[in-house]
């Protein structure tokens, strides 16, 4: 697309080609390390533990907090920095045991795994998560939080959908008739960046809570398989509408043999599984500023 991102990509490939020629073993280690990091970042959340607690205000009800580890949540930079977390919406879940409320909270996977070996550290992460839920949804929770078996809705895929904000067929608690505990303006209250008073030092040097930004939107898109006269697929055309984008330089495009990813940091992210294997090296892309639309064409392999 002639963008700065494309120029930087070409420079990176040139450096990798030089590394492959001068140090094959170093090149192999570099590629394996990058592939390992990519697998970790794209893996779904791991369901670690489920807590059953009680809502005391604004009305009494049972709440399940699903704590999970996710590599997409960064670890704290130091013991005194904020503890990043990501959370889904407050949802109403119906199962054979009845209806109850639930929320998914994710910490960095390595952080939560290490805390599992230290009960004091784990209790602190649990209390931070409960404090976060209270602040975000304006609730008062009970002091006890016994562990519960992970419910059927706690599969890694469902947890990821909740954290990414793409769950379907599940009622958000804020959307039902809540009476006296309807949140202001009919939605979720704004979350302060720091949940503890400034200047407060958490126990054992643990940092404050820092919420990970809201997940990027999935843009409107259209995928078309163009076929020849005999019905054999020739190419795949993808049209992506990016209303908040004005230049191709804002877009990151990645095409492999079987999928396509379009990303605009903090705004859009689209991943499509392609219906046919493609020749990704021959992919072309054009951005139409007047329509804020990205057009991608890739021939079928």
pLDDT, tens digit (0-9, with 9 covering 90-100), for 73-132: 888 877 777 888 888 888 887 766 667 788 889 888 888 888 888 888 888 888 888 888
pLDDT at 177 over 80: no
Classify each residue of 105-135 as buried b or exposed e, where b means 16 or more C-beta atoms within 10 Å of its C-beta: bbbbbebbeebeeeeebbebbbebbbebbeb
- What average pLDDT does range 261-281 have in this prediction? 89
Delineate the domains of the chain, giving CATH numbers in brackets.
46-211 (no CATH), 216-301 (2.60.40.790)
Q: For residue 235, what pLDDT is reported?
A: 94
Highest mean pLDDT among 17-26, 84-93, 262-271: 262-271
Reported as a pLDDT band with limits 50, 70 and 90, residue 31 is low
**Cα–Cα distance list, 69 to 102, 161, 205, 258 (Å):** 17, 14, 21, 28
pLDDT, tens digit (0-9, with 9 covering 90-100), for 125-154: 888 888 888 888 888 898 888 988 876 666
Select the more confidently predicted residue: 243 or 29.
Answer: 243
- What average pLDDT does range 62-76 have in this prediction? 86
Q: For residue 200, what pLDDT is reported?
A: 38
Q: For residue 225, what pLDDT is reported?
A: 93
Residues paired with residue 101 on neighbouring β-strands, in sequence order: 63, 92
pLDDT at 28 over 80: no
Reported as a pLDDT band with limits 50, 70 and 90, residue 274 is very high
Entry pTM:
0.47
Q: For residue 183, what pLDDT is reported?
A: 28
pLDDT, tens digit (0-9, with 9 covering 90-100), for 182-239: 222 222 222 223 333 333 334 444 445 555 555 678 889 999 999 999 999 999 999 9
pLDDT, tens digit (0-9, with 9 covering 90-100), for 226-257: 999 999 999 999 999 998 888 888 888 899 98
Select the more confidently predicted residue: 193 or 269.
Answer: 269
Strands (E) in the chain, as ranges, are 46-57, 61-70, 83-87, 91-95, 98-108, 140-141, 147-148, 171-172, 209-211, 221-227, 233-241, 252-255, 259-264, 268-273, 284-288, 293-299
Select the more confidently predicted residue: 155 or 192.
Answer: 155
Instruction: Say if strands 98-108 and 61-70 run parallel, antiparallel, or are unpaired.
Output: parallel
Q: For residue 38, what pLDDT is reported?
A: 52
């Amino acid at each position: 697309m002639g963008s700065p991102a494309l120029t930087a990509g070409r420079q990176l490939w040139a450096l990798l080609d030089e590394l492959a020629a001068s140090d094959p073993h170093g090149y192999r280690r570099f590629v394996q390390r990058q592939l390992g990091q990519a697998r970790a970042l794209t893996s779904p959340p791991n369901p670690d533990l489920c807590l059953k607690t009680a809502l005391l205000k604004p009305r009494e009800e049972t709440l399940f907090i699903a704590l999970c580890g996710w590599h997409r949540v960064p670890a704290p930079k130091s013991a005194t920095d904020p503890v990043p977390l990501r959370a889904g919406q407050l949802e109403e879940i119906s199962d054979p045991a009845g209806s109850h409320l639930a929320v998914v909270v994710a910490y960095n996977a390595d952080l939560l795994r290490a805390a599992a070996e230290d009960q004091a550290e784990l209790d602190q992460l649990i209390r931070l998560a409960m404090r976060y839920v209270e602040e975000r949804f304006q609730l008062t929770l009970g002091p006890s939080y016994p562990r519960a078996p992970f419910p059927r809705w706690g599969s890694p895929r469902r947890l990821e959908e909740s954290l990414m904000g793409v769950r379907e067929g599940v009622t958000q608690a804020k959307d039902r008739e809540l009476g006296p505990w309807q949140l202001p303006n009919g939605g979720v209250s704004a979350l302060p960046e720091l949940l503890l008073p400034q200047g407060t030092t958490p126990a054992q040097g643990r940092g404050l809570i820092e919420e990970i930004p809201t997940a990027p939107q999935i843009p409107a898109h259209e995928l078309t398989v163009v076929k020849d006269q005999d019905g054999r697929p020739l190419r795949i055309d993808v049209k992506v509408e990016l209303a908040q984008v004005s230049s191709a330089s804002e877009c990151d495009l990645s095409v492999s043999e079987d999928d396509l990813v379009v990303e605009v940091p903090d705004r859009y992210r689209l991943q499509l599984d392609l219906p046919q294997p493609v020749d990704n090296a021959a992919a072309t892309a054009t951005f139409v500023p007047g329509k804020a639309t990205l057009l991608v064409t890739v021939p079928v392999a």
